[in-house]
Chain A
Amino acid sequence: MYDKYLIVGEAFKNVVEGGQVTGYQIGLRLPYYRGVVLSLVGETILTVDGERAPAEAMTVTLRGKTYPKTQFEDEPVAKWEFGDIGIVTVAKPGGLKPGEHKVELRQQMKISYVPGGFWGGDTKTLTLPG
């Protein structure tokens, strides 16, 4: 559910720190009808032009707080609220080239009353500002 709303293009840009492009950012929503604690947000398979963003390189900023993706499973209190756009930052020296990119997402949700959990997904072609 909500699949076509998962990738939020408005937030798509390179991240510049100290004059260097250190990675890129994109906005994501969850494919679910309620907010959940971060430990229930499963695997985030995010690819740009077929290249997968490693979980180790990913942080998510929610309501002003930033969480490393690899630490989500240790977080049974902080929540990703329903409909909130998480700003995902992917560390990637040099970032992405300006112009069109094919962005694909498969997002796992570990919801206890659904045996095995479930996945949502979205694909968008986005333009990275130069």
Chain B
Amino acid sequence: MTSQSKIKRGVTLYSFQEEYFLRQLSLEQIIAVCAQLDIPGIEIIGDQMIPNYPNISDEFVKQWHGWMDKYGRTPVCLDMFLDWNKYKGRVMTDDERFESVVHDIHNAHKLGCTVIRVIHDVEPALLEKLAPTAEKHNVKLALEIHAPSYFDSPLEQRLVEMFRRVQSPSLCFTLDMGVFTKFQPRVASDRFLREGMKPEIVQYLIEAYNTRTLPSSHELGKRNDALPKKILEMGGREADIYWAMMGTHSVYSDLALLRDYLPYVKHIHGKFWEMLPEGREFSIPYDEIVPILIEGGYDGYIDSEYEGNRWIQDAFTVDSAAQVGLHQAMLKRLLGEA
């Protein structure tokens, strides 16, 4: 099986945000942990762990490459944001948006990253205009498909149409595995209980999510009035509506479409909330997904992306390295490395 799969393993340092936030681990120490966990590829959010991003100092660039050499890791992906609302009283002009992403492309190039995770609210026309710059710097602009969106959502369909027309090797998707959340994450429903939600409402949310009967929670761009109404009918509080909306907005999308659109996917976020000791994710059926990626000839990275910390940090000590280690062990098994 090893010879068949060209898929590479990586991790986004987003996974270690808890320890970085609390200044328990420095960036260098996190990269050292990645080496200990035998994770080849490194992804970084500029705004999270690079001081003064997007204005990266030469000193940082030198340090970064020094760490990559010292710990034997490979830079893979830089995650960007487009803060188009950062100027008082107006939104960014098209030219400012263009320059902002050009800056990210230059930064990715300096850091040795060949992929930029593009945030979801970037227009196809801007990406098309950026393609020549990205190609010149050997960087892929991979717009992230993230729940509740999927390949068949309106923006994604416009992008696919543009990708087909432009035929640039630099235009593609990042796919977040959270779109295949088959079961309601337990870390979220446990949190609902700790926040004082009535157990019968929690039970309803779990069952409704798992049976895809949650009222109209995934209609893009539309206000969801049905779920709040249902929660209030069950005797819930305003706070319960907040937690329910926050904690049930994943989707379990059609895996058949993954086969069709896989050629446009050049980067993957291996999202997870809770790795179980026996080596599977509580909600996302990786054992159903990874074989499709192998069969489809996907040859990019799967970067582990731990997002459970935000659900458990109120009550438990977060151990990101342990969770990432279990996720990587699962990937090794599914990729035939184990």
Contact (Cβ within 8 A) B85 A34: no
For chain A, what secondary structure do more than half of its interface residues adopt (helix, strand, loop), or is it mixed? loop
Contacts of A110 in B (CB 8 A): 85
0/1 interface trace, chain A 95-130, chain B, CB 8 Å (1 if under): 000000000000000101100000000000000000
Is the contact region of chain B dominated by helix, strand, or loop, or is it mixed? loop
Identify A37's interface contact among B20, B51, B83, B121, CB under 8 A.
B83
Contacts of A33 in B (CB 8 A): 14, 17, 21, 45, 48
- Contact, CB under 8 Å: A39 / B48: no
Query: Within the complex, what minimum Cβ distance (angstroms) separates B214 from chain A?
Result: 20
CB of A40 within 8 A of CB of B14, answer no
A69-81 near B? 1/0 per residue, CB < 8 Å: 0000110100101
Cα distance, A3 to B246, chains bound together (Å)? 14
Q: Are A40 and B22 in contact (CB under 8 A)?
A: no
A36 on the B face (CB < 8 A): yes
Question: A39 to B51, Cβ gap below 8 A?
Answer: no
User: What's the Cα separation between A5 and B23 when bound, in Å?
Assistant: 12
Kindly list 6 other residue pairs between chains A and B, CB separation below 8 angstroms, not including A36-B47, A37-B86, A76-B88.
A1-B310, A33-B48, A34-B47, A76-B86, A82-B49, A83-B20
Q: List 18 A-B contacts (CB under 8 A).
A: A2-B21, A5-B21, A33-B21, A34-B48, A35-B47, A37-B86, A39-B86, A39-B87, A40-B86, A81-B51, A81-B52, A112-B81, A112-B82, A112-B85, A112-B121, A113-B119, A113-B120, A113-B121
